[in-house]
Amino acid sequence: MIDKSNQWSDCLIELSTMVVPGSQHIEDKMYHPPEGLQKDAHVPDFNCYLELYKKSIEEPDAFWKEVASDFYWKKPPTGQILQYNFDVTKGNIYVKCMEGATTNMCYNVLDRNVKDKNLGERVAFYWEGNSPDHHEAITYGQLLGQVCRCSNTLKQMGVRKGDRVAIYLPMIPELVYTMLACTRIGAVHSIVFAGFSAESLCERIMDSQCSILVTADGVYRGEKLINLKQIADEALEKCREKASATVTRCLVVKHHALRTQDGDVANTLQVGPDFDQNTDVHLPSTRCPEYGRSSTIYHLPSTIYHLPSTIYLSEVMGQVSEHCEPEWLDAEDPLFILYTSGSTGKPKGVLHTVAGYLLYTSLTFKYVFDHQPDDVYWCTADIGWITGHSYITYGPLANGATSVLFEGIPVHPHVGRFWEVIEKYRVTKFYTAPTAIRLLMKYGLDPVQKYDLSSLRILGTVGEPINPEAWHWYHEVIGQKRCPVVDTFWQTETVRDTFPFFGVEPTILNEHGEELEGEAEGYLVFRRPWPGIMRTLYGNQERFENTYFKKFPGFYVTGDGCRRDRDGYYWIAGRIDDMINVSGHLLSTAEVEASLTDHGAVAEAAVVSRPHAVKGECLYCFVTLKDCREFNRTLVDELKRQVREKIGPIATPDFIQNAPGLPKTRSGKIMRRVLRQIARNEKDLGDLSTMADPKVVEVLFNHRCETA
Ligand code: WTA
C-alpha cells in the first residue's frame, strides 16, 4: 500500500502547468493565464502543447534533432538520438543521447551567445550580494573571459579532462566561473552546497576522488559569518585521516576579505586547529613568474605536508590568458556529479552527461518559463542543489537569458528582501520554493506592499508539494492574480518538469507493478528516458539499477507517490520511501539515524517526519538510550548539535524524544508508520497485530514532544 503519511496528500495542487502559460487547477477551481501572456507565448495554447508533446513521444528523433539544431556540434551524431534500455531483466540500464556527436557545454552557453548571437554586451548575471550594497552586473562577454581565465587556472593546477573538481562555494560569481571552467576543459564538477558540514564535504570528495577543491575564505549568510575555509580544511583533514587524500590543491576565493575589506583571510578568520600554516602558499599578488611553467612549485615536501597548498583563485586568474580553447567532448561524456540523499544513508553521486543535459535544461527553461529576450529571470535556489545547476546556470545561459544571482537570504537585512530585489532588477520571472513562500507569508502584506512587483509575469515553485494556502498567497499577493504559477516537479536525477514535459511519459503503478488507468493512486514511474535523465550513480551502476529500476522492471521509479484525478491531472503526494523533504531538501532518515547513534549515549534511533508550518516537513527523532544514560535537555541539545555538525544545518532535528523501546515487528523491523503517528499524536493506530510488544506504544505517547 502507498503510505499516505505526507501531510498534503489530500490537498495538493496539480502539476499540469507545464504549458506555459498554462491553466492551473487548484482545489477544484481552474485559473487561466491572462490573454496577453498567452498570445505571445512559445506554446500559446493547449492544442499546441499536445501537438508538440505527441511529436516528442511518437517521433523522438525528429523532435530532439530539431532542438539540437540550435546548438553547436563539432561532430554530428552518428545514430539514433536517444538509445536506451530501461528493463533490468534485459541487461544493464543505459541511456545515450546524440551518440557519436562531439560538443562542449561551455562553448554552447557562452561562446555561441557572444560570437554567433552577438550577445556579448547582454547581462548574464546581476549578482546581488548578501548585503544590498554589494552588487555587480556581469555581461556574457565578461563571463566568457573570466571562465576562460578560470579554465586556464585549473589547467595549470594539473586538472585534465575527466578529473573531478570539488566546488564548495557560496553564491558568488566565482561559483559560476569555476563550474563552467570545468565544463570547458572537460573536467567533472562536483558541487557541494556550502551549508554542508566538513564530514559531508569529505564524504563527497572521497566518493568521487576529487583532485582539487575550490572554496572561499568565508561568507556572510544574513548576519552570520561562515568560515568556509576552516570547514574545508577540516574536511581535507578528515579525508587524510581516512587515508584518502586525493585533493592536491585547494583554490581559495578571497570573498569575505574582499567584501568586508577586513584584510587577509588569516587575519579575519580563525585558523582551524589542524591547519598547518606552513602549507599555505600565499602567492604574491603582483607577480607570479614561474606560474604554469612548473607543475610542482606548489608541492611542499611531504614531511610537512598536512593539507594541500592553498592558492588564491583571483591571483592566479589575473596571471593567465582570457582565451582558452574548449575541449571537444563526446556527447555522453560526464558533465557533473551532484550528490543527493539516498535511503541507505550514503549519498548518491548522480551523474549527468553533456549533450542530454544541454538539450533538456535549455528546452525546459525556454518553455516552462516561456523565456523572452527582455526577461529578467530569478531563481532563488542555491547552485549547490540541482535546481541551481539547471535553472541558474545551464538552462538560462543556454538561452542567452539575463538572471539574478543572489547570495543572500530572504530575511536579511529585512523581510522584504526578495521583493526589494524584484523591484531593483525589474524581475519578470521568479522561481522559488514553497518553504520560502510559507516563511514570507508570516510577515503579512506590509513588507510586500512597499515594493513595485508589476514587472512580474510568471511565478514558479519547486522542491516539494505546495499547499493551497501558500499557493493562493503566492498567486494573489506576489503575482497579483496576474501571473500564472508554474509548479515544476522533478528530481536531482531526472531534470524534468511538471505534467508531463516533452519526451516524458509518466504512469502510475500499484504495489504489484500493474499500470493503473483513469483515476488512480500509486507509484509515480516513467516508461522511457528523455535526454536530461541521470545516466548512473558515480562509480556504482549496481546501486543505480537497484534504486531506480529493480522494483518495477521496465520503469524508472521516482520514489514519489502520485494521484491521477478524473480529468487526468497528476498530483504529487510526496515521498513514499525513507526520505524526508525538509524545506525542499531531501534528507535520508538512515543518515540522520546514523549520526544520532554515533553518540555514545544512544543505543538506537528512528527518525520520521512531522508536518511543519514553514519547512513542510521536519525531523522527529526517537532515541533509545544505553543503560544508565539519562535523557535530559543537555543530551537533546548535544544530539541536535551532533546531527548538525555531521550533516549540516538543514538536517538539525526539531524534535528528539526519549524512546525506552521502539515499536518493532516480530522480525525486528521498526514500524515507522506507528512512529509517524505517534509524532503526529494520531491516537488511532490501526492494526498492530504484527507488533512484537504493543506496550511500547503507550510509553511512547507518554514521552511525546509537543513543542520543539
Ligand atoms: C520533491 C529537487 C512536489 C519530490 C528539484 C522529488 C516535489 C524530490 C516538487 C526531488 C514539486 C520536487 N511538487 N514534490 N513541484 N519538486 N519535489 O532531488 O519528492 O532535491 O522526488 O530535486 O523533491 O528532490 P531533489
**For the complex shown, is ipTM > 0.90?**
yes
Mean pLDDT over 156-175 rounds to 97
pLDDT of residue 23: 59
**Over the stretch 661-673, which tens digit does the pLDDT of each residue have?**
999 987 778 888 9
% of residues, the chain, pLDDT over 90:
72
Mean pLDDT over 309-338 rounds to 94
The protein residue with its alpha carbon nearest to ligand 1, atom 3, reads 465
H-state helical runs in 393-450: 395-398, 417-425, 434-441, 446-449
The DSSP element (H or E) to which 165 belongs, if any, is strand 164-168
The strand pair at 219-221 and 224-226 is best described as antiparallel
Check residues 441 and 11 and name the one with the higher pLDDT: 441
- CA separation for the pair 261, 259 (Å, rounded): 6
Taking the CA atoms of 427, 429, 430 and 431 in sequence, report the sign of the dihedral they define. negative
User: Among residues 387, 390, 383, 433, which one has the least CA distance to residue 192?
Assistant: 383
Query: Average pLDDT over the chain, rounded to whole?
Result: 87
User: Among residues 604, 201, 198, which one has the least CA distance to residue 190?
Assistant: 201
Q: Residue 413 corresponds to which cell in the numbers above?
A: 537585512
CA of 338 to the centre of ligand 1 (A): 15
CA 55 to chain CA centroid, nearest Å: 30
Q: Residue 440 corresponds to which cell in the numbers above?
A: 514570507
CA of 545 to the centre of ligand 1 (A): 20
Q: Is 256 helix (H, G, I), strand (E, B) or coil?
A: helix
- Residue 650: CB within 6 Å of ligand 1? no
pLDDT of residue 35: 80
Mean pLDDT over 585-592 rounds to 90
- Residue 574: CB within 6 Å of ligand 1? yes
The DSSP element (H or E) to which 230 belongs, if any, is helix 228-241
CA-derived radius of gyration, the chain = 25
Least confident span in 58-67, 320-329, 576-585: 576-585
pLDDT of residue 669: 81
- Residue 489: CB within 6 Å of ligand 1? yes
Q: Is 12 helix (H, G, I), strand (E, B) or coil?
A: coil
The strand pair at 429-432 and 458-462 is best described as parallel
Q: Which atom of ligand 1 is nearest to the CA of 493?
A: 18
* Residue 295 CB burial class (10 angstroms; 0-12, 13-18, ≥19): exposed
The DSSP element (H or E) to which 603 belongs, if any, is strand 602-612
Specify whether the CB–CB gap between 482 and 452 falls below 8 A: no
pLDDT of residue 498: 54
User: Among residues 77, 173, 72, which one has the least CA distance to residue 115?
Assistant: 72
- Residue type at 338? L
Q: Which residues contact 224 (CB under 8 A, 6 or more apart)?
A: none
User: Among residues 348, 369, 352, which one has the least CA distance to residue 497?
Assistant: 369
pLDDT of residue 22: 52
Check residues 91 and 265 and name the one with the higher pLDDT: 91
Which pLDDT band holds residue 78 (cuts at 50, 70, 90)?
A: very high
| Distance set, CA 489 to CA 492, 498, 516 (Å) | 11, 5, 20
Q: Which atom of ligand 1 is nearest to the CA of 466?
A: 13
CB atoms under 10 Å from CB of 297, counted, come to 12
To test the pocket of ligand 1, the residue of 196, 533, 572, 615 to mutate (highest count of ligand atoms within 8 Å of its CB) is 572
Q: Which atom of ligand 1 is nearest to the CA of 579?
A: 19
pLDDT of residue 272: 32
Mean pLDDT over 55-61 rounds to 97
pLDDT of residue 295: 25
CA of 496 to the centre of ligand 1 (A): 10
CA of 53 to the centre of ligand 1 (A): 22
**Over the stretch 465-484, which tens digit does the pLDDT of each residue have?**
888 899 999 999 999 999 99
**Over the stretch 495-509, which tens digit does the pLDDT of each residue have?**
545 568 999 999 999
Q: Would you say residue 284 has pLDDT above 60?
A: no
**Over the stretch 619-636, which tens digit does the pLDDT of each residue have?**
999 999 998 899 999 999
**Over the stretch 455-469, which tens digit does the pLDDT of each residue have?**
999 999 999 888 889
Taking the CA atoms of 588, 592, 593 and 597 in sequence, report the sign of the dihedral they define. positive
- CA separation for the pair 339, 384 (Å, rounded): 10
Q: What is the DSSP string of 273-334?
A: TT--GGGB----SS--TTTTT-TTTT---GGG-SSPEEEEHHHHHTTS-S--PPPPEETTSE
Q: Would you say residue 133 has pLDDT above 80?
A: yes
Q: Would you say residue 281 has pLDDT above 60?
A: no
Which pLDDT band holds residue 573 (cuts at 50, 70, 90)?
A: confident
- CA separation for the pair 378, 388 (Å, rounded): 11
Specify whether the CB–CB gap between 309 and 300 falls below 8 A: yes
% of residues, the chain, pLDDT over 70:
88
- Residue 320: CB within 6 Å of ligand 1? no
pLDDT of residue 15: 25
Specify whether the CB–CB gap between 42 and 18 falls below 8 A: no
